[in-house]
Amino acid sequence: EAQVTQNPRYLITVTGKKLTVTCSQNMNHEYMSWYRQDPGLGLRQIYYSMNVEVTDKGDVPEGYKVSRKEKRNFPLILESPSPNQTSLYFCASSLTYGGTYNEQFFGPGTRLTVL
Protein backbone atom coordinates (compact mmCIF):
# COMPACT_ATOMS: atom_id res chain seq x y z
CA GLU A 1 0.00 0.00 0.00
CA ALA A 2 1.34 3.41 -1.01
CA GLN A 3 1.71 5.50 2.09
CA VAL A 4 3.62 8.02 4.17
CA THR A 5 4.36 6.85 7.69
CA GLN A 6 5.40 8.89 10.70
CA ASN A 7 6.68 7.83 14.10
CA PRO A 8 5.88 8.40 16.82
CA ARG A 9 2.23 9.37 16.47
CA TYR A 10 2.17 10.97 19.91
CA LEU A 11 5.04 12.30 21.98
CA ILE A 12 5.24 14.21 25.24
CA THR A 13 8.68 15.51 26.12
CA VAL A 14 10.40 18.19 28.16
CA THR A 15 12.15 21.37 27.14
CA GLY A 16 15.64 20.82 25.81
CA LYS A 17 15.50 17.07 25.28
CA LYS A 18 16.49 16.30 21.70
CA LEU A 19 13.99 14.33 19.66
CA THR A 20 13.52 13.01 16.15
CA VAL A 21 10.28 12.38 14.31
CA THR A 22 10.74 9.92 11.50
CA CYS A 23 9.01 10.04 8.12
CA SER A 24 9.14 7.40 5.44
CA GLN A 25 7.41 7.00 2.08
CA ASN A 26 7.25 3.94 -0.15
CA MET A 27 6.26 5.66 -3.40
CA ASN A 28 9.73 6.57 -4.65
CA HIS A 29 8.79 10.25 -4.39
CA GLU A 30 11.46 12.86 -4.95
CA TYR A 31 9.85 15.67 -2.99
CA MET A 32 9.26 15.51 0.76
CA SER A 33 8.13 18.17 3.16
CA TRP A 34 7.30 18.84 6.80
CA TYR A 35 4.38 20.96 7.97
CA ARG A 36 3.06 21.97 11.34
CA GLN A 37 -0.60 22.62 12.06
CA ASP A 38 -1.60 25.02 14.79
CA PRO A 39 -5.08 26.26 15.77
CA GLY A 40 -6.04 29.32 13.77
CA LEU A 41 -2.89 29.13 11.65
CA GLY A 42 -3.57 26.21 9.32
CA LEU A 43 -0.66 24.25 7.88
CA ARG A 44 2.73 25.91 7.60
CA GLN A 45 5.76 24.45 5.88
CA ILE A 46 8.86 23.87 8.02
CA TYR A 47 11.39 22.32 5.62
CA TYR A 48 11.31 20.59 2.28
CA SER A 49 13.57 18.38 0.23
CA MET A 50 13.68 18.15 -3.55
CA ASN A 51 15.77 14.99 -3.55
CA VAL A 52 18.48 13.14 -1.65
CA GLU A 53 20.91 15.52 0.05
CA VAL A 54 18.89 18.56 -1.10
CA THR A 55 16.94 20.36 1.63
CA ASP A 56 15.73 23.91 2.12
CA LYS A 57 13.86 26.05 4.60
CA GLY A 58 10.13 26.58 4.44
CA ASP A 59 8.14 29.30 6.15
CA VAL A 60 8.84 28.37 9.80
CA PRO A 61 12.22 26.58 10.00
CA GLU A 62 13.50 28.02 13.29
CA GLY A 63 14.28 25.35 15.87
CA TYR A 64 14.16 22.45 13.40
CA LYS A 65 16.62 20.45 11.35
CA VAL A 66 16.10 17.85 8.67
CA SER A 67 18.19 15.41 6.70
CA ARG A 68 17.64 13.47 3.49
CA LYS A 69 20.24 10.74 3.27
CA GLU A 70 17.90 8.29 1.55
CA LYS A 71 15.09 8.98 -0.87
CA ARG A 72 12.44 7.33 1.28
CA ASN A 73 13.27 8.94 4.65
CA PHE A 74 13.02 12.54 5.80
CA PRO A 75 13.41 12.84 9.60
CA LEU A 76 12.55 16.02 11.48
CA ILE A 77 14.97 16.84 14.29
CA LEU A 78 14.32 19.13 17.23
CA GLU A 79 17.73 19.67 18.87
CA SER A 80 16.37 21.58 21.87
CA PRO A 81 12.58 21.52 21.87
CA SER A 82 10.68 24.40 23.44
CA PRO A 83 7.00 24.70 24.43
CA ASN A 84 6.23 26.82 21.34
CA GLN A 85 6.99 23.75 19.26
CA THR A 86 4.02 21.97 20.73
CA SER A 87 2.02 21.24 17.60
CA LEU A 88 0.66 18.68 15.18
CA TYR A 89 3.27 17.75 12.58
CA PHE A 90 2.67 16.31 9.13
CA CYS A 91 5.13 14.85 6.70
CA ALA A 92 4.19 14.87 3.03
CA SER A 93 5.65 13.61 -0.23
CA SER A 94 5.00 14.02 -3.93
CA LEU A 95 6.46 12.50 -7.06
CA THR A 96 8.30 15.64 -7.98
CA TYR A 97 8.05 19.40 -7.73
CA GLY A 98 7.48 22.24 -10.16
CA GLY A 99 6.25 21.70 -13.71
CA THR A 100 3.00 19.79 -13.75
CA TYR A 101 2.19 19.70 -10.11
CA ASN A 102 1.81 16.35 -8.43
CA GLU A 103 -0.42 16.19 -5.40
CA GLN A 104 1.21 15.75 -2.03
CA PHE A 105 0.42 12.71 0.08
CA PHE A 106 0.36 13.30 3.81
CA GLY A 107 1.31 11.10 6.71
CA PRO A 108 -1.09 10.56 9.64
CA GLY A 109 0.49 13.24 11.83
CA THR A 110 2.57 13.39 15.00
CA ARG A 111 1.16 15.22 17.98
CA LEU A 112 4.04 16.68 19.96
CA THR A 113 3.75 18.26 23.39
CA VAL A 114 6.77 20.00 24.90
CA LEU A 115 6.44 20.70 28.62
Partner 1 sequence: DQQVKQNSPSLSVQEGRISILNCDYTNSMFDYFLWYKKYPAEGPTFLISISSIKDKNEDGRFTVFLNKSAKHLSLHIVPSQPGDSAVYFCAAIRSGGGADGLTFGKGTHLIIQP
Residue of 15, 18, 79, 101 that binds partner 1 (CB under 8 A): 101
98 binds partner 1 (CB under 8 A): yes
Options 13-21, 27-35, 60-68, 72-80: segment touching partner 1 (CB under 8 A): 27-35
User: Is 58 one of the binding residues for partner 1 (CB under 8 A)?
Assistant: yes
Q: Is 74 in the site for partner 1 (CB under 8 A)?
A: no
| 19 versus 50: smaller Cβ distance to partner 1 | 50
Q: Is the Cβ of residue 82 or residue 88 nearer to partner 1 in the bound state? A: 88
106 φ, ψ (degrees, to nearest 5): -105, 145
Query: Taking CA 92 as the corner, what is the angle to CA 66 and CA 96, rounded to the nearest 5 degrees?
Result: 95
What DSSP state is assigned to residue 104?
Answer: P
Encoded amino acid at 90, one letter: F
Position 62 contacts partner 1 (CB under 8 A): no
Q: Is the dihedral of CA 6, 7, 9, 10 positive or negative?
A: negative
Residues near partner 1 (CB under 8 A) are 4, 31, 33, 35, 40-45, 48, 50, 56, 58, 90, 92, 97-101, 103-109
